[in-house]
Amino acid sequence: MTDRGLAGVGIDELVERIVGGDRLVLARALTMIERGEQTARALLKLVLPHTGRAWTVGVTGPPGAGKSTLLEALITCLRRRERQVGVLSVDPSSPINQGALLGDRLRMGRHYLDEGVFIRSMASRGMVGGLAPMALQSALLLDAAGFNDILIETMGVGQSEIAIARQADAVVLVLMPGAGDSIQLLKCGVMEIPDVIVVNKADHILAKRLLADVRSTLESVQRDQVPAVVQTVASTGDGIEQLATALAEHRDRLEHDGLELRRAQRLREAVVDAAAALVAEHVKASAAGDPEVHELLAAATDRRLDPGAAAARIAARELGRK
Amino acid sequence: MTDRGLAGVGIDELVERIVGGDRLVLARALTMIERGEQTARALLKLVLPHTGRAWTVGVTGPPGAGKSTLLEALITCLRRRERQVGVLSVDPSSPINQGALLGDRLRMGRHYLDEGVFIRSMASRGMVGGLAPMALQSALLLDAAGFNDILIETMGVGQSEIAIARQADAVVLVLMPGAGDSIQLLKCGVMEIPDVIVVNKADHILAKRLLADVRSTLESVQRDQVPAVVQTVASTGDGIEQLATALAEHRDRLEHDGLELRRAQRLREAVVDAAAALVAEHVKASAAGDPEVHELLAAATDRRLDPGAAAARIAARELGRK
């Protein structure tokens, strides 16, 4: 334990406090996870038996679709239903080791003083193993801490964002009218991810067109369960009750049939992805000190070897060592 | 050669035709790269001596910022300057093996009949090694085919998009006013990537505010060379000449000092990233058939092992085999 305020506190007591709802200890445990501290691993192991009760919801969509405002309204709605709500706000868009997010205090200010709401931002500060496993582990802690609903917000709709959202029990895709690329998104496979699609800013002049596009795209996608489509105006709260109801219906359906299977399948995917990311990081780190890799890179920069061939040889070298 | 129209044509002749400007052969060679065909590798090796003359420009920014319209206007401007323009439009946002992009014919229709413009879309159709190396290899082909400018457009601003844009000689970040998340982007490290920042939709009521945000953010970022900031209205063409001039100035500066160093450094990064991606893919593929991995995944789904620990053990197993 490097944390002064918790110095001398044993790990069993930390777990007890987290499970008992101590927000301060929870916040510090999340920091331990982000920093990849050894204590975090031990802690996770001990909280595991206390997990599995929370309902996780991934919220994704292009920047500017109004996800933050929608989340604020959704939290208000869930609080009225007496749910305790944990929020993880994840931003994988920064490749640089100093991603400074807006402070959690500034975001979703309406709920900052509500004891039933806990909000945490995570950026990709060059974390070991990537953001997706970090988000998964953080969600486990929130689960153990007794939150009924855990909302995992991602900033964009890139591969890393979708990987994070997919880990959840329900995936919400938020779109808004008027952005030409929303329609492009619909055509790019993103439609196969969500359980609920929100057409936000439904009072916008182009909302009907987006709605029609969503519906026609859904008709062309082969899925066992067609996602619910909900229209909202997050800024006024219109449609938020319908969104909460659509989520509750999805939960009821899944709890009735397939929840454990879905959770196990997505967890396996997440673990294998995380393992692959760890191995990839190892390759990047070890490449720097390897003279043969150095020579292959020189051949690529001298145009003696094409970049794809150079990459294939470096990869084969790493795998060949096995 | 599986392609009927080119059956019996030797690889040397393919290279000759590509370098000679044969667009049909170029298009088929790009398809070979996308499909990971063996011929593509041999082809790349032979075109390498013909590369290095083109100027590559990565264009990135959040969905809805008007990148496509901006590119159309920029192409018109570059054509007036008698540059031959190749465009790679890359979309890494689909994690699913059937990403269907809008046809190239539909996009940038204004230039479709212009022989001096070549437009190609690429989606992540589960390509081996990922989109970034594929984009790099495709750009090499366009380079060998004699295009003066190669514009590489990415759809969003996630990690994969930025990795692709970074490979270029110049990086353009396109922002638009009114989307709250543009400002958030500015705060997340994305500002350290571009050589030119475009504030598009500069006639928007909130453009001045975005411009002020961009400038104040730039003041807080430590960089050797402060990026140029250009205001455009892509739909009317306003500011596009200034953008082309800013790009030309960046090119002159870099050609005068540091171009080879920058290219070598970014190419090395790209090759190592591609190698890491290949190894990661191998881990994912081999995990499925490994009984010990199976047991570790079962332990994770049974909550006997936390997901991070399971991932670390699978990674150690892969690396330990070496």
pLDDT digits (tens, 9 = 90+) for A52-63: 999 999 998 877
Token pair in block for residue B161:
């998009």
> CA torsion B32→B35→B36→B41, rounded to 10°?
0
Q: Which residues of B touch A322 (CB under 8 A)?
A: 318, 321-322
Q: Is the pLDDT of residue A180 over 70?
A: no
Structure tokens at B137: 């290899």
Chain centroid offset of residue B123 CA: 11
Mean pLDDT score, A293-304: 93
pLDDT band at A66 (very low <50, low <70, confident <90, very high): confident
Both tokens of B130, joined, read: 């990922």
Residue A56 corresponds to which tokens in the numbers above?
Answer: 């996780």
Average confidence (pLDDT) over A198-208: 91
> Residue B316: closest CA among chain A residues belongs to which residue?
A279
Beta carbons of A159 and B160 less than 8 Å apart: yes
A189 closest CA partner among B98, B91, B73, B197: B98
Q: Length of chain A in residues, anyone?
A: 322
The residue among B98 and A122 whose pLDDT is bigger is A122
Residue B245 has pLDDT above 80, yes or no: yes
- Which chain A residue's Cα is nearest to B288? A272
User: Which residues, listed in sequence order, are joined to residue B173 by a DSSP beta bridge?
Assistant: B60, B197
- Identify the helix (H) or strand (E) that includes residue B123: strand B117-123
Strand order of the β-sheet with A228-231 is: A117-123, A85-91, A149-154, A55-60, A170-175, A196-199, A228-231
Mean pLDDT of A94-108: 38
**Neighboring chain A residues of B163 at a CB cutoff of 8 Å:** 95
CB pairs under 8 A between A and B: 298
Best mean pLDDT range from A197-206, B156-165, B243-252: B243-252
Question: Which chain A residue's Cα is nearest to B124?
Answer: A188
pLDDT value at residue B56: 96
Residues A81-109: what's their mean pLDDT? 59
Q: Kindly state the tokens that stand for A79.
A: 């609080």
Q: How far is A144 from chain B (nearest CA, A)?
A: 12
Q: In chain B, whose CA is at the least distance from the CA of A45?
A: B306
**Which residues on B lie below 8 Å from A162 (Cβ)?**
93, 95
Model pLDDT, residue A187: 55
- Please provide the distance, in angstroms rounded to a whole number, between the alpha carbons at the two ends of chain B: 36
The region of weakest confidence among A101-110, B16-25, B193-202, B234-243 is A101-110
In angstroms, what CA-CA distances link A131 with A159, A228, B269, B311?
A: 12, 28, 21, 13
Does the beta-carbon distance from A272 to B283 stay under 8 Å? Answer: yes
Side-chain half-sphere CA neighbours of B228 within 13 A: 19
Quick check: A307 and B274 CB within 8 A? yes
Task: List C-alpha distances in Å: A268 to A210, B66, B299.
Answer: 35, 38, 10
Contact A61, A157 (CB under 8 A): yes
Provide the percentage of residues in chain B whose pLDDT is more than 70: 82
Residues B94, A190: C-beta atoms closer than 8 Å = yes
Q: C-alpha angle with apex B88: B243 to B132, nearest 5 degrees?
A: 110
Nearest CA in chain B to A69: B180
Chain-chain contact of A64 with B276 (C-beta, under 8 angstroms): no
- Helix (H) / strand (E) containing B32: helix B23-35
Q: Which residues contact A268 (CB under 8 A, 6 or more apart)?
A: B297, B300, B301
pLDDT at A179: 57
Q: Let me know if A242 is exposed, middle or buried by CB neighbors in 10 A (0-12, 13-18, 19+).
A: middle
Nearest to B158 among A93, A180, A278 (CB): A93
* Chain B residues near residue A283 by CB distance under 8 angstroms: 272, 275-276, 279
Nearest CA-CA distance, residue B13 and chain A, Å:
19
- Give the residue, B123 or A250, on which the prediction is more confident: A250
Q: Mean pLDDT lowest for which of A31-35, B140-144, B230-234?
A: A31-35
pLDDT value at position B65?
81
CB-nearest partner of B188 from A99, A193, A267: A99
Rounded to the nearest 5 degrees, what angle is found at the Cα of A85, between the Cα atoms of A82 and A89?
160
Whether B311 and A160 lie within 8 Å, measured CB to CB: no
Alpha-carbon distance A194 to nearest alpha carbon in chain B (angstroms): 13
Q: Identify whether the C-beta of residue A318 lies closer than 8 Å to the C-beta of residue A284.
A: no
Name the minimum distance, in Å, from the CA of A115 to any CA of chain B: 27
The shortest CB-CB distance from B278 to any of A64, A306, A311 is to A311
Q: B44, A309: Cβ pair inside 8 Å?
A: yes
Q: Judge contact between B311 and A278, C-beta under 8 A.
A: yes
Of residues B49, B102, B279, nearest to A279 (C-beta): B279
CB-CB neighbors (< 8 A) of A71 in chain B = none
The residue with tokens 């300057």 is B81
Measured in angstroms, the CA of B168 and the nearest CA of chain A are apart by: 14
Cβ of B267 and A62 within 8 Å?
Answer: no
User: Residue B138: its chain A contacts at CB < 8 A?
Assistant: none
Q: What mean pLDDT do residues B52-76 have?
A: 89
Tokens of B42: 């041999």
Q: What CA–CA distance (Å, rounded) separates B249 from B247?
A: 5
What is the average per-residue pLDDT within B238-256? Answer: 95
